[in-house]
């Protein structure tokens, strides 16, 4: 049986947790007005490493969802995870979805977000 796509509410909740944690960590090192690139840069690095190696971030773990390769069902690897994070930064790409609830960032790297 194929795993079901993750509900949008859980995906949004996970993203919110991940983004807030990146803002808090970046804010501990610099003011967001002085270094506005720090939080988005940290977000890309965190997504690249966590999705690349484990298939889920802390927010995804809390909301019981996983980002996996559409072909293998395993983690997508660091290079693809980094590209996915960069493409997702504008957030518009995450809102444009196909029938399988895959955003442009997922389609760009061949990933899908599934409920665990």
For every residue of 74-96, DSSP letters joined together read S---HHHHHHHHHHHTTSHHHH-
**Residue 35 lies in domain:** 8-115
3 domain-assigned: no
Domain count, the chain: 1
* Mean local confidence (pLDDT), 38-66: 96
- pLDDT of 27 > 60? The answer is yes
C-alpha 50 chain-centroid distance: 9
103 domain-assigned: yes
Q: Supply the pLDDT for residue 3.
A: 62
- pLDDT of 37 > 50? The answer is yes
- pLDDT of 34 > 50? The answer is yes
- What CA–CA distance (Å, rounded) separates 66 from 64? 7
Residue 1: which pLDDT band, with cuts at 50, 70 and 90?
A: very low
82 domain-assigned: yes
48 domain-assigned: yes
- What CA–CA distance (Å, rounded) separates 88 from 95? 9
87 domain-assigned: yes
Q: Supply the pLDDT for residue 33.
A: 85
pLDDT digits (tens, 9 = 90+) for 58-101: 999 999 999 999 999 999 999 999 999 999 998 888 888 888 88
């Amino acid at each position: 049986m194929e795993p079901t796509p993750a509900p949008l509410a859980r995906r949004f909740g996970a993203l919110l947790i991940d983004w807030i944690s990146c803002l808090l960590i970046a804010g501990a090192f610099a003011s967001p007005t002085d270094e506005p690139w720090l939080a988005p840069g940290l977000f890309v690095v965190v997504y690249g490493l966590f999705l690349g190696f484990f298939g889920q971030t802390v927010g995804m773990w809390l909301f019981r969802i996983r980002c996996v390769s559409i072909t293998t069902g395993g983690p997508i690897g660091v290079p693809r995870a980094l590209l996915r994070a960069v493409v997702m930064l504008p957030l518009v790409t995450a809102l444009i979805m196909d029938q399988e609830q895959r955003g442009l960032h997922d389609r760009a790297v061949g990933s899908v977000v599934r409920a665990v």
